[in-house]
Amino acid sequence: MEQYINVGSPKTPVIKFDLINGFLEIKGRSIPENSIEFYRPLLVAVDNYLRVVKPITIVTMHLEYSNTNSSKCILDVFKKLANVHRVTSFVSVNWYYEDDDMLEAGEDYRALINIPFKMIQVA
């Protein structure tokens, strides 16, 4: 698998994971009916990335909103990426936010995961 893509919907984010170049983007709203099932393929893709990990991995997160179940799944993705960061690759997260709630969410992830986060406000 060279990439994982989810086109997104009004309830699910666009996900683009380029395993060849080490770029992961998640953008949109994350309120799927079953967050575990929705994020499972992305977790598998991150596991596959461990076999071909690049020296630098860039994560771009631009969520308008995520529900509690999605937040837990996103935390699972970050935990896997923290392992990548700790072992083989420099991982950096660009966290785009439009409001204080999403800024706080990004700050919460940054406090829980040992990965550099850059907070970027979107007007």
pLDDT digits (tens, 9 = 90+) for 27-63: 999 999 999 999 999 999 999 888 888 899 999 999 9
83 closest CA partner among 60, 63, 57, 104: 57
Q: What is the pLDDT of residue 92?
A: 95
Q: How is residue 51 written in tokens?
A: 């076999």
Domains of the chain: 3-121 (3.30.750.24)
Position 1 confidence tier, pLDDT thresholds 50, 70, 90: low
pLDDT at 109: 96
Q: What is the mean pLDDT of residues 15-35?
A: 95
What residue has token string 């999403």?
Answer: 102
Sign of the four-CA dihedral 43, 47, 50, 51:
negative
- What is the mean pLDDT of the segment spanning 92-121? 96
pLDDT value at position 2? Answer: 86
Torsion sign across C-alpha atoms 62, 14, 66, 72: negative
Q: What is the DSSP string of 45-83?
A: HHHHHHHH--SEEEEEEEEEEE-HHHHHHHHHHHHHHHH
What is the arithmetic mean of pLDDT over 2-22? 94
* pLDDT per residue as tens digits for the range 50-99: 888 889 999 999 999 999 999 999 999 999 999 888 877 799 999 999 99
Nearest to 14 by CA among 36, 30, 2, 34: 30
